[in-house]
A and B are shown apart, each in its own frame.
Chain A
């Protein structure tokens, strides 16, 4: 077992454990913070797999932006900071959910383990550097890239349009 594999396994276990805590913790803020740990460990996993740019984008976009959005949403929806047992569904729902989760994970694991069996790959650090990724994005993937920028603009406008408060409509009703 090489040193890379040891680092990979440590990061993978950290990521999986914190992901599990993020979906089971009874405190909402802890969920968001465990999500930070999970996504940060995943950025480490990407580094081990030789994808530097992806790891940086993961840190910037996920850990930086998405988690902040989640925390803002938790604040704005007045989520209870203290321990709450209303975050999860009733026990039968949790049981069904865990059965479904284990089934999905198991089916995926069965397929992938069958397909990959003993595959080992050489991790090449220079493949994930900024230069080859930039060249790839701006040559072969230019059209999807431009489409994505249109998608981002559309979602930005949509988010503003959806969450805009229509105060001038219901000022007379007051806050219901």
Chain B
């Protein structure tokens, strides 16, 4: 038996840390690290929810007899969704880091405070990086 409050609190702490990382950091790569932590908070909640019987919290309140029945739930949705989220995160960080590299090649910096305008509005805009 494990108490579900633990995973919930861990997810909240990770989400808070992720938001702090996204907002406080100046280096673009470190901002992406914050985004990863935020995605992992969602994963912890999904995995914790997959330990619930079919029907979720409502299913838990029913009698223990039905729990053994719901054991057969074929979709195990939480864990499959977690794997999907991990895949989406991998795709996201691939494209994100490619954009950061392009930014570095164009501006010679990845500091987000230096990149206040994009495209033609910037005085040092060039057609090709």
- Give the secondary structure class of A's interface: helix
Shortest CB–CB separation between residue B57 and chain A, in angstroms?
7
Query: A98-124, CB under 8 A of B: which get 1 and which 0?
Result: 101110111011001101101111111
Q: Which of A5, A45, A144, A165 contacts B3 (CB 8 A)?
A: A5
- Asked if A58 and B86 make an inter-chain contact with CB atoms under 8 angstroms apart, the answer reads yes
Question: In the complex, which residues of chain B have a beta carbon less than 8 angstroms from the beta carbon of A113?
Answer: 5, 8-9
Count residues of chain B with CB under 8 A from any CB of chain A. Answer: 82
- Asked if A23 and B25 make an inter-chain contact with CB atoms under 8 angstroms apart, the answer reads yes
| Docked complex: A131-162 residues within 8 A CB-CB of B | 132-133, 135-137, 139-141, 144-145, 148, 151-152, 154-156, 158-160, 162
With both beta carbons as reference points, the residue of chain A lying nearest to B39 in the complex is identified as A62
State A165–B109 Cα separation when bound (angstroms). Answer: 17
- Asked if A97 and B3 make an inter-chain contact with CB atoms under 8 angstroms apart, the answer reads no
Q: A88-B25, A128-B79 are in contact. Are A148 and B84 (CB under 8 A)?
A: yes
Shortest CB–CB separation between residue A36 and chain B, in angstroms?
11
- Asked if B25 and A123 make an inter-chain contact with CB atoms under 8 angstroms apart, the answer reads no
Query: B20-36, CB under 8 A of A: which get 1 and which 0?
Result: 11111111111011101
Shortest CB–CB separation between residue B110 and chain A, in angstroms?
5
- Asked if A49 and B23 make an inter-chain contact with CB atoms under 8 angstroms apart, the answer reads no
| Docked complex: B48-97 residues within 8 A CB-CB of A | 48, 50-53, 57, 60, 67, 71, 74-77, 79-80, 82-84, 86-95, 97
Shortest CB–CB separation between residue A146 and chain B, in angstroms?
12
- Asked if A2 and B26 make an inter-chain contact with CB atoms under 8 angstroms apart, the answer reads no
Question: In the complex, which residues of chain B have a beta carbon less than 8 angstroms from the beta carbon of A81?
Answer: none
- Asked if A70 and B74 make an inter-chain contact with CB atoms under 8 angstroms apart, the answer reads no
Q: Which of B2, B13, B84, B97 contacts A121 (CB 8 A)?
A: B2
Known: A50-B51, A119-B5. 7 other contacts (CB 8 A): A19-B13, A46-B47, A62-B89, A70-B32, A112-B45, A136-B76, A152-B90
A–B Cβ pairs within 8 angstroms, 25 of them: A4-B1, A19-B13, A19-B18, A19-B37, A23-B18, A42-B40, A42-B44, A46-B82, A72-B97, A79-B29, A87-B25, A88-B25, A89-B113, A101-B19, A105-B16, A112-B8, A121-B2, A121-B52, A128-B50, A136-B80, A141-B75, A148-B87, A152-B87, A159-B94, A162-B102
Query: B: which residues have CB within 8 A of A?
Result: 1-30, 32-34, 36-37, 40, 43-45, 47-48, 50-53, 57, 60, 67, 71, 74-77, 79-80, 82-84, 86-95, 97-102, 104-105, 110-111, 113, 126, 128-129
